[in-house]
Chains A and B, each alone.
Chain A
Amino acid sequence: MYTRIYLLRYPKETADQPIIYYLVKRYDVQFNILKADIRPHQIGIMILELKGQKENVKEALEYLHSLDVTAERLAGKVNRDEKKCFQCGACTGICPVGALYIQRPEMEVIFDPEKCTACGLCVTGCPVRAMEVCFDPATDGVDVTAPV
């Protein structure tokens, strides 16, 4: 199954519409809300995991664009500095979504950017600061790194 995680930014006007409902109904995608901060008449933020056929996810995104909801991929927002990481494994107990996990039997610590929701918990949890959040200027001022 095709799985992608997006940061959605709702304009003020759409904050009270049942967008997710239509998304599921019309495009047959599964969703998982990883974080949401939507209040009436304010810009809303939602971190959404979409699963389904690739075309369906694509069409769902087009629908969101038509409503002026921007969807930004979160994969790639958090990086692991491979030179700094010493494969201790401390982060595997911190990451809430399993984007940092241990591959057995080698006991290698793997980072899967596709699963990462950019929650930022590993950034201060990593003892050598190997995990870095790097946001576009477009998302500056939006605190998506606060714990869920």
Chain B
Amino acid sequence: MSDIEKRKIEKKKFAINKTYAEINARIKAGEAVVVTAEEMVDVVKQEGSVEAARRIDVVTTGTFSTMCSSGAFFNFGQTTPTIKAQKVWINKVAAYGGLAAIDCYMGVTETMEDDPLNQVFPGEFRYGGGHIIEDLVAGKKVYLEAKAYPTDCYANTKCKKELTLADMNYALLCNPRNGYQNYNCAVNFSDKTVYTYMGSLKPKCRNANYCSAGALSPLLNDPLYRTTGIGTRIFLGGGVGYVTFNGSQHNPAAPRGENGVPTRPAGTMMVQGDLKQMSAEWLRGISIQGYGCSMAVGLGVPIPILNEEMARFTGVSDEELFTHVVDYGHDYTNCISRDYGQVSYAQLKSGIIDVAGKKVKTSPLSSIVKAREIAEILKGWIKDGKFHLGEPVDYFPTADFSFKD
């Protein structure tokens, strides 16, 4: 049985059954009822999931934080004579040129050629691929250099030019792994400070960092990828983008709680969108001390409330979302799968958690303020009839799940 057939059979179980077409018609008519994932918590608590599903059409989510595995494809235009660029640099940051004559891919963790990296530890990593994408969407000029071997059809061997995003023939933000569904809470049990992609962690477990928008996070509100699939239209970097595949490292088999939500890093999304309509406010070059460069990506996924199950999923609160505490001083680097217990996002957001019998101060790395702003912007777009839902043409690999009660 295909996924789509399975979904058709499942549909019959519900008291409320809405289609994408019905919801989109309501959006067009300016009648759609839209709330953010934070607001949905109270709606479901007060009205119950069936009533909530009857009344609410769309729940908007949002997240804004560092997302490695992001980057952009550029087609930077031909030279005279023509060139088949083999090596490409933009502002001294290498892009991958092995695609075609003048296509390249700039990845966000790429650093400048002469960056001292971690030679003076911890390195600062001031400028990299993410900063280039930010500069381009901010309208700044960048300096492109390319080297090539000559052929009969592409005679040029080098090119240097200044250009802006508007000068590019094509610019596609293409992030193979964004919006991690849940992530570890990081501590450090070693004797020295460690500088990780989870921030700097003091020795002997004196602080804990976590990185998720919790109740606002896209995939924590659609834990089984019931509506987030290939073709889902989303808020991406301030513009409109699409979910185009499950992301790299997508792991639906991660352990889940009774509400179906993973308690460890699980699902991921690959997302794409036209870079030219995005904004530097929502794509930010990142320098993580001692670790490297990256980019913060603003991402918002609308979740259609097709039935009471989706209402229940999106009604999840920080108290019902959990993650594990992992040691980045020794365990993570040495691939030791051990954890120091489970904590809820409500506990993490309170500022103090218990780890191995000790009170530890927590800091977020993912912006809740901006996540909320994204969910609000997306809500506005939908209410104004400017944004319609994309119905997935296919779905991510998922896990079997149904609510017990």
A positions within 8 Å CB-CB of B: 86-94, 102, 104-109, 124-125, 127-129
Q: Across the interface, do A127 and B287 meet the contact criterion of CB distance under 8 Å?
A: yes
Q: Across the interface, do B284 and A124 meet the contact criterion of CB distance under 8 Å?
A: no
- Residues of B116-138 whose CB lies within 8 A of A: 122, 124, 126
B303 at the interface (CB under 8 A from A): no
Query: Whole-angstrom distance between the alpha carbons of A93 and B353 in the complex?
Result: 14
Chain A interface main SS type: loop
Q: Across the interface, do A86 and B284 meet the contact criterion of CB distance under 8 Å?
A: yes
Query: Whole-angstrom distance between the alpha carbons of A105 and B365 in the complex?
Result: 16
B157 at the interface (CB under 8 A from A): no
Instruction: Give the residues in chain A near B367, CB-CB below 8 Å.
Output: 86-89
What are 10 A-to-B residue pairs whose CB atoms are below 8 Å?
A90-B199, A90-B363, A93-B200, A93-B363, A94-B199, A104-B349, A104-B351, A108-B369, A127-B287, A129-B287
Q: Tell me the smallest distance from the CB of A53 to a CB of chain B, in Å.
A: 32
Query: Whole-angstrom distance between the alpha carbons of A124 and B195 in the complex?
Result: 12
B36 at the interface (CB under 8 A from A): no
Instruction: Give the residues in chain A near B126, CB-CB below 8 Å.
Output: 129
Instruction: Give the residues in chain A near B296, CB-CB below 8 Å.
Output: 86, 88, 127-128
Instruction: Give the residues in chain B near A102, CB-CB below 8 Å.
Output: 351, 363-364
Q: Name B293's closest neighbour in chain A (CB-CB).
A: A127
Q: Across the interface, do A88 and B207 meet the contact criterion of CB distance under 8 Å?
A: no
B223 at the interface (CB under 8 A from A): no
Q: Tell me the smallest distance from the CB of A107 to a CB of chain B, in Å.
A: 4
B positions within 8 Å CB-CB of A: 64-66, 122, 124, 126, 199-200, 207, 209, 284-289, 296, 349-351, 361-370
Instruction: Give the residues in chain B near A86, CB-CB below 8 Å.
Output: 64, 284, 296, 367, 370
Q: Across the interface, do B284 and A89 meet the contact criterion of CB distance under 8 Å?
A: no
Q: Across the interface, do B285 and A128 meet the contact criterion of CB distance under 8 Å?
A: yes
If A89-B365, A109-B369 touch, does A125 touch B65 (CB 8 Å cutoff)? no
Instruction: Give the residues in chain B near A91, CB-CB below 8 Å.
Output: 363
Most buried by A among B65, B287, B363: B363
Contact for B349 among A88, A107, A128, CB less than 8 A: A107
Instruction: Give the residues in chain B near A104, CB-CB below 8 Å.
Output: 349-351
If A88-B366, A107-B369 touch, does A128 touch B284 (CB 8 Å cutoff)? yes
If A87-B367, A108-B369, A109-B369 touch, does A124 touch B124 (CB 8 Å cutoff)? yes
Instruction: Give the residues in chain A near B65, CB-CB below 8 Å.
Output: 88
Q: Tell me the smallest distance from the CB of A9 to a CB of chain B, in Å.
A: 29
Q: Across the interface, do A107 and B66 meet the contact criterion of CB distance under 8 Å?
A: no
Instruction: Give the residues in chain B near A128, CB-CB below 8 Å.
Output: 284-287, 296
Instruction: Give the residues in chain B near A127, CB-CB below 8 Å.
Output: 66, 286-288, 296
Query: Whole-angstrom distance between the alpha carbons of A102 and B365 in the complex?
Result: 12
Most buried by A among B124, B287, B289: B289
Instruction: Give the residues in chain A near B287, CB-CB below 8 Å.
Output: 127-129
Instruction: Give the residues in chain A near B64, CB-CB below 8 Å.
Output: 86
Q: Please name the 10 residue pairs, one residue from A and one from B, whose CB atoms are nearest each other, closest first.
A: A93-B363, A107-B368, A89-B364, A87-B369, A127-B286, A87-B367, A93-B207, A88-B367, A92-B363, A90-B199
Q: Across the interface, do B285 and A106 meet the contact criterion of CB distance under 8 Å?
A: no
Q: Across the interface, do A107 and B364 meet the contact criterion of CB distance under 8 Å?
A: yes
Query: Whole-angstrom distance between the alpha carbons of A89 and B286 in the complex?
Result: 14
If A104-B350, A107-B349 touch, does A125 touch B364 (CB 8 Å cutoff)? no
Known: A86-B367, A89-B364; 17 extra A-B contacts, CB below 8 A, are: A86-B64, A86-B296, A87-B370, A88-B296, A88-B364, A90-B364, A93-B199, A94-B199, A104-B349, A106-B369, A107-B349, A109-B369, A124-B289, A125-B200, A128-B285, A128-B296, A129-B287
Instruction: Give the residues in chain B near A129, CB-CB below 8 Å.
Output: 126, 287
